[in-house]
Amino acid sequence: MTCEGPVHLRRAVPDDAAGIAHVYVAGWHEAHAGLVPPEFLACMRAKARVEFWRDELQVEARGRMLWVALIDDRLVGFASGGISRDDGADPGTGEVYQVYVEPECWRRGIGSALLRHVIRDLHAHGFARATLWVISANAPARAFAEKHGWAADGASRAEDCGGIEVEEVRFQHPLDQR
């Protein structure tokens, strides 16, 4: 796969479901291999069904914004955001749910462009701040967040998949300063 050429960002559509599922599985697996138990990786792979993403893309709501990155009409990344899913979150808090890029295309600015786009979109939808959850053992993802001005706020939670739990840490970023 070539990752050269201009990157185009656009809102995702249901026909993007297979590409998103592929990027999710490849990106999640590559980013977390060796950091989480193999059973957790297998569970996350099973959750990344094309049908799941097609259903997600058919939901039109303020709380869900999914964007894709394309090179020559080939989906190479995606990101999503919306209303915070944290219990007791202030209504002005949004969340970046995920940012994933095809592993062969890492370190080319695609993830950064997607993150900036979701942040702008959250701000445009009236959110004053955003959160982002990262697997605590994923030092590159933590560094990526920090590089973009996010700061860990001390909150953590257990992410469960098939009875296997891994720890996540929460990052925050003010949106009104962008």
Q: In which residue are the tokens 């099973």 written?
A: 46
48 has a pLDDT exceeding 90: no
Whether residue 46 lies inside any domain: the answer is: yes
What is the pTM assigned to this prediction? 0.89
Say if strands 7-11 and 164-174 run parallel, antiparallel, or are unpaired: unpaired
pLDDT at 62: 47
51 has a pLDDT exceeding 60: yes
pLDDT at 155: 96
Q: Rounded distance, CA 151 to CA 11, Å? A: 27
pLDDT at 29: 84
Phi-psi map region of 66: left, alpha, beta (phi>0 left; psi -120 to 50 alpha)? beta
CA dist list (Å): 174 to 44, 77, 132, 149: 30, 24, 12, 9
pLDDT at 178: 43
Whether residue 64 lies inside any domain: the answer is: yes
Distance separating the N- and C-terminal Cα atoms of the chain: 34
- Average pLDDT of the segment spanning 52-56: 77
Whether residue 1 lies inside any domain: the answer is: no
pLDDT at 67: 92
- Average pLDDT of the segment spanning 73-99: 93
Q: Rounded distance, CA 81 to CA 73, Å? A: 22
Whether residue 27 lies inside any domain: the answer is: yes
Whether residue 83 lies inside any domain: the answer is: yes
**Where in the sequence is the domain holding 41, given as residue range(s)?**
7-174
* CATH code, domain carrying 46: 3.40.630.30
- Average pLDDT of the segment spanning 125-150: 95
Number of domains in the chain: 1
Whether residue 2 lies inside any domain: the answer is: no
Q: Rounded distance, CA 61 to CA 27, Å? A: 26
Whether residue 26 lies inside any domain: the answer is: yes
Q: In which residue are the tokens 């445009």 written?
A: 124
